Chains A and B, each alone.
Chain A
Amino acid sequence: MKSSIALAVGVLASSLALAQEPQQPAPTLAANVCMSCHGPEGRSVSPVFPRLAGQQKAYITAQLQAFRNRTRSDPLAQAYMWGMASQLSDSGIDALASYYSAQQPVAGTAGDAALMAEGKKIYTQGILAEKVPACASCHGADAQGVGAFPRLGGQHVEYLLAQLEGFKSGVRANAPIMLGVVHNMTVDQLKAAATYAASK
């Protein structure tokens, strides 16, 4: 049985991407697809994938748009979220952001005592000498976030730290304000701040 394989992969057209995938309602999409990494109702187990439950709606919206237009390009964003967000419509993004922001956030847990103590200082007072503002001034006294500034409370410490290191190295470049904040901070200070913020 001879078969000649014409690799007729030449279906070239789709760069236009005119027809975006018909959007399932957000809870269905979240339950069928997003939860594979982000967990049921957005409470993920693995620190590779951020918890979305109770995240600020405007922040989720901004990130999904940043994945879709590829302005957020840290390695895991590229590996996972560029594909995931590529076919989302504006209304789909809005619906997903509404869904996840309405979920019950995970309660934070306290970390190592020394890190917590130093982290609390950085979070509530900043680091005057390095011109680092207090995290609370944007992220809220309880790390709940507001508007486009994300909730940090209840998030995986490892994930927060990865973002802070990403801002510092420039690997994550879709939040210029954060580059200014972390620019002068040491890794230990970042660890402490992340530990405290996540514990709220």
Chain B
Amino acid sequence: MNHSSTPRIASRLARLSLVAATAALLLPGAAQAVPSFARQTGMACEACHTVFPELTPFGRRFKLNGYTIDNLPQVSDVTGSKEQTLLLNQLPPLSFMLQASVTSTKKAVPDSAVPGANAQNGQTQFPQQASLFYAGRIAPNLGAFVQMTYDGTAGSFGWDNTDIRYAKNVNPNFLWGLSLNNNPTVQDVWNSTPAWQAPFDQRSATAPSGAAATMLDGGLADAGVAGLSVYGYWNDSLYAELGAYRSAPAVAIPLDSTNTSVVDGVAPYWRLAYERQWGRQSWELGAYGVNAKMFPGGGIPLSGPTDRYNDVALDTQYQYIGDESIYSVLGTYIKESQTLDASAPGTSPDLKTLRVGGSYYYRRQYGAGLGYFSTTGSSDISATTDTNGWTAELDWIPYQNTKLALQYTAYNKFNGASDNYDGTGRNASDNNTLYLLGWINF
């Protein structure tokens, strides 16, 4: 998953703190490719994915079509005038995902209870994550991607990424749809946006990661939101989407001051993208953004001043999908302007996040990836914010639904400094992480 579920230190940035009490809520992280779709369509993983979770042009179309392309026997019914009123897969497109991992940091992370002591390094997680998916068509023109994930902290399955879609092909050149989802950019079909960006989307659940992140980069998702958006796709090239998110944590109690980071009203989300395909190549350029007013909560009633966040982002993706070699380059740049009238009145910090990565796969069996990441704060918060570094990864994909990845992340700066960033002598490079991931989907 993208984000650890351990509590974070609340900071002046109003970084959403994850309240362990809402244990039933599992924070949406990077969703995974699913054999559910393979079962439903009868198509091998490589039809829709270069290497999971990255999508091919056909995979993008499948998703924009509402996950409804379906080659399973159906239970069906029609009205007297032959309108379809039921189209239900006889076999449910269910699938399961299991991740196991070993995480080792250059210097063991501090013990959470005893100052001066260290936690165990080389942490093994089995599972790091386990998820159950229903993914596929549920009715004519209506499909669902529903993920339930085992949360080690809570000891139970909880709600994870969900994207329920309606899609209609108006003519061969235009389709439109609706997406109901709980994680801004989970509904996106390019792998350059935060929910899906390789090689950054697979992170150790226990390794340290920079505290500051924009709303688009998981901030809103962590707060617990639900959003509805409408989208259109012209000529396999132009994409436009407009939506709105509202706070919707997955607990059945009224939202009040005991919650944190509650959206005031709705937070609009927008997305534009242009893709060009030629031969075996495709290139996309796009922009996206979200605007949110948040009550900090956490004891403060949900009224009065709000913290305002305006995110504007650019992204680009290039893919070459050959018979033997697959290359992709993905990048995104997010700029967030904050006006913290509620949690830090009189301050207006900025956050800028840049992530650029590339990957290469040989015969979809051996791969390598390299990425650069950076989050920088404006001068008033820079000293506790700036985090940047590199990630390198080697992959072995013995079968289309199994992956073994070895990833190394090196930090130049962590939470504001290269040296002694936390006041106890810990350096950014002490968080350099070696991460071995085993990932199976079936």
Known: A11-B92, A22-B84. A79 touches B47 (CB 8 A): yes
- Do residues A32 and B43 form an inter-chain contact, with CB atoms below 8 A? no
- Do residues B73 and A41 form an inter-chain contact, with CB atoms below 8 A? no
In the bound complex, residues from chain B placing their C-beta under 8 Å from that of A47 are 279-280
In the bound complex, residues from chain B placing their C-beta under 8 Å from that of A3 are 148, 156-157
A91 at interface, CB cutoff 8 A: no
Q: Which residue of B lies closest to A37 (CB)?
A: B58
Contact of A87 among B61, B72, B171 (CB under 8 A): B72
In the bound complex, residues from chain A placing their C-beta under 8 Å from that of B76 are 19, 21-22
B278 at interface, CB cutoff 8 A: yes
In the bound complex, residues from chain B placing their C-beta under 8 Å from that of A5 are 132, 148, 157
A22 to B321, CA, bound (A): 34
Known: A7-B96, A22-B78. A17 touches B62 (CB 8 A): no
In the bound complex, residues from chain B placing their C-beta under 8 Å from that of A162 are 323
- Do residues B172 and A79 form an inter-chain contact, with CB atoms below 8 A? no
- Do residues A83 and B280 form an inter-chain contact, with CB atoms below 8 A? no
Cβ of B205 to closest chain A Cβ, rounded Å: 20
A41 to B172, CA, bound (A): 8
- What does the 1/0 interface line of B25-54 toward A look like (CB < 8 Å)? 000000000000000011110110000000
Q: Which residues of A contact B (CB under 8 A)?
A: 1-3, 5, 7, 9, 11, 13-14, 17-22, 31-33, 35-37, 40-41, 45-48, 78-80, 82-84, 86-87, 162
- What does the 1/0 interface line of B119-160 toward A look like (CB < 8 Å)? 000000000000010000000000000001000000111100
B325 at interface, CB cutoff 8 A: no
A1 to B94, CA, bound (A): 22
Known: A40-B172, A40-B173, A87-B73. A13 touches B90 (CB 8 A): yes
27 contacts between A and B (CB under 8 A): A2-B156, A3-B156, A5-B148, A7-B94, A17-B73, A19-B73, A19-B74, A19-B76, A21-B87, A22-B74, A22-B76, A31-B172, A32-B169, A33-B69, A35-B172, A40-B172, A46-B280, A48-B321, A79-B46, A80-B44, A82-B42, A83-B42, A84-B42, A84-B43, A87-B72, A87-B73, A162-B323
B378 at interface, CB cutoff 8 A: no
- What does the 1/0 interface line of B279-321 toward A look like (CB < 8 Å)? 1100000000000000000000000000000000000000001
Give the number of residue pairs across the A-B interface with Cβ within 8 Å. 97
A35 to B173, CA, bound (A): 10
- Do residues A1 and B24 form an inter-chain contact, with CB atoms below 8 A? yes
- Do residues B58 and A36 form an inter-chain contact, with CB atoms below 8 A? yes
In the bound complex, residues from chain A placing their C-beta under 8 Å from that of B173 are 40
List B residues 64-118 near A (Cβ within 8 Å): 65, 69-76, 78, 84, 87, 90-92, 94, 96
Which range contains the number of B residues in contact with the other chain? 35 or more
Q: Which residue of A lies closest to B25 (CB)?
A: A1
B277 at interface, CB cutoff 8 A: yes
Q: Which residue of A lies closest to B172 (CB)?
A: A40
| New A-B contacts (16) at CB < 8 Å, excluding given A2-B156, A87-B73 | A1-B23, A3-B156, A7-B94, A7-B96, A11-B91, A14-B90, A19-B74, A20-B73, A21-B73, A32-B169, A36-B58, A37-B58, A45-B279, A79-B44, A79-B46, A84-B42
Cβ of A165 to closest chain B Cβ, rounded Å: 10
A31 to B69, CA, bound (A): 12
Cβ of A139 to closest chain B Cβ, rounded Å: 25
- Do residues A45 and B171 form an inter-chain contact, with CB atoms below 8 A? no
B57 at interface, CB cutoff 8 A: yes
- Do residues B280 and A36 form an inter-chain contact, with CB atoms below 8 A? no
In the bound complex, residues from chain B placing their C-beta under 8 Å from that of A9 are 92, 94
In the bound complex, residues from chain A placing their C-beta under 8 Å from that of B91 are 11, 14
- The 6 closest A-B CB pairs, nearest first, are A83-B42, A79-B44, A40-B172, A83-B43, A1-B24, A36-B61
